[in-house]
A and B are shown apart, each in its own frame.
Chain A
Amino acid sequence: MAEMLSYIERKSPIHNLTGATKLLCFVMWSTAAMLTYDTRVLVFMFLASLVIFQISKVKIREVSFVLILILFFLLLNNIAIYLFAPQQGAEIYGTQTAILTLPGNYDLTLEQLFYQLNITLKYFVVIPTALLFIITTNPSEFASSLNRIGVSYRISYAVAIALRYIPDVQRDYKTIAVAQQARGIDLSKKEKLATRIKNAASIFTPLIFLSMERIDVISNVMDLRGFGKNKKRTWYGYRPFQARDFVALGLLLILLVVSLVITFNDGNRFYNPFV
């Protein structure tokens, strides 16, 4: 079965930041990336994210399986955009510089290439930081961080349970799948669609009901131990803020403000090199 991303323990400046810092930084970073469409800002953020990735000591091959998936998705997305709206770029930038004449509405324009480059950059800017956030944040510390930045501890605990139980549920899923396959249930494309749905149901139905029983057991145990009785709780994975956390937050805040100023000071989200 395909791998999934998870926490990798290592010593690096990025790992040393507290989970709360990383979460806030990631939120500011993606807000900036979502709002801006300014190529200069995007290019700068992309380069910066590569530098941060380098600092984190995470190796490319540790995330390559995800990168391939993303690149494939972006390629499909770009093709779809071109098929559906070959003149979107010309519309946004207001000019039309055809470099290749194609039948119908499909003239390839510089504006379109530039627009699609920007869309791709917009995704690219978030990918390294999102990967880093997942790989460098310890799950139990993450729950305490959520609580720290104002999320109620009950919700934070729900997230902690989710992260804690994903491997368990995955194991259950595999066990059930293997057991059903041993009984001769075929999930491959050889079966007709209707049969395949029925066969898949023989795996996910037990998984779902098993998990619902688990909800009963766990919530009873938590109630018996007095969960939710007090207004606050302490966290085993809690780490106090240090100078480096404030530095990181400060830098990100500056980045967010500057990127917004650059993006919006000419009254338009787009950087237009064509006029």
Chain B
Amino acid sequence: MNGKLATKTIVAIGIGVAVFVILNRFAAIPTGVPNTNFQVSYAFLALMAVVYGPIAGALIGFVGHALTDAIVWGSVWWSWVVVSGFVGLAIGLVAKKIDIENGVFGLKEIITFNVTQVVVNAIGWMLIAPSLDILIYVEPENKVYVQGAVAGGFNILTVGVIGTLLLIAYAKTRSKSGSLDAEA
């Protein structure tokens, strides 16, 4: 690759952003709490970050979130967009330890993935997003921290359940190396 982005990563970013936007727009599952949804898009973001790496993860999160805000809301909430990029990047970085391309996603990998996503989501939504809200908009502290905690909590839950299931499903589509035996 020598510093240049592989074609596959570029396409993964492009299509990933498109799917992220559509999932954000149409595939949010209401939780029962008003205005709070299980955002399937973040489970998808985690899957893409694990499969295509940190650069793809960061850009799908960043561009995908900015684009969703822009075409659905007509304006971009940069403080939260940055966090989406951060989540994709961080999950992608740790995921180098997970050999998903060879279909390896057992208990050990599930634990690695989930510990990572909990830590990353917590830092992102409960720390970075509210701090940026205060810095840019000078919104009240307790309000933004409660918002961040709710959003972060739901994202952790979504990525933990749906993200893990997606990764297991993806791993099954890959053939394990050494899975063929020569018949005697």
Contacts and interface: CB of A to CB of B under 8 A. Distances in A.
Interface of A: 1-2, 4-6, 30, 34, 37, 63, 66-67, 69-70, 73, 76, 80-81, 83-85, 88, 92, 119, 122-123, 126-127, 130-131, 133-134, 152, 154-155, 157-162, 164-166, 168-170, 173, 177, 189, 193, 196-197, 200-201, 203-205, 207-209, 211-212, 214-216, 218-219, 222-223, 227-228, 269
Interface string B129-143: 000000011111111
Given A197-B38, A201-B165, A165 B74 contact: no
Contacts, number: 183
Contact of B11 (A1, A80, A166, A219): A219
A177 B26 CA distance: 10
B128 interface: no
Contacts of A160: 14
Which of A1, A155, A166 has the largest count of B CB atoms less than 10 A from its CB? A166
Interface of B: 4-5, 7-8, 10-19, 21-23, 25-27, 29-32, 35, 38, 40, 44, 47, 51, 59, 63-64, 67, 70-76, 78, 136-143, 146-147, 161-162, 165-166, 169-170, 173
Contacts of A69: 72-74
The 8 A-B pairs at the shortest CB distance, nearest first, are namely A161-B14, A85-B140, A84-B143, A162-B17, A158-B13, A165-B18, A219-B11, A219-B8
29 contacts: A1-B26, A37-B138, A66-B72, A67-B74, A81-B143, A119-B138, A134-B71, A154-B4, A158-B11, A158-B17, A160-B14, A161-B10, A161-B11, A161-B15, A162-B14, A164-B14, A166-B18, A169-B15, A169-B21, A173-B26, A193-B29, A197-B38, A197-B162, A204-B40, A205-B166, A212-B170, A215-B8, A218-B11, A222-B11
Contacts of A165: 14-15, 18
Nearest to B135: A34
A85 B143 CA distance: 7
Contacts of A204: 23, 27, 40, 44
Nearest to A187: B29
A70 B4 CA distance: 40
Contact of B70 (A5, A123, A193): A5
Most chain A Cβ neighbours within 10 Å, of B18, B23, B147? B18
A152 B55 CA distance: 14
A196 B29 contact: yes
A73 B69 CA distance: 12
Contacts of A66: 72-74
A222 B7 contact: yes
Contact of A215 (B11, B143, B173): B11
B71 to A, nearest CB: 5
A34 B73 contact: no
A84 B142 contact: yes
A173 B22 contact: yes
Contacts of A5: 70-72, 74
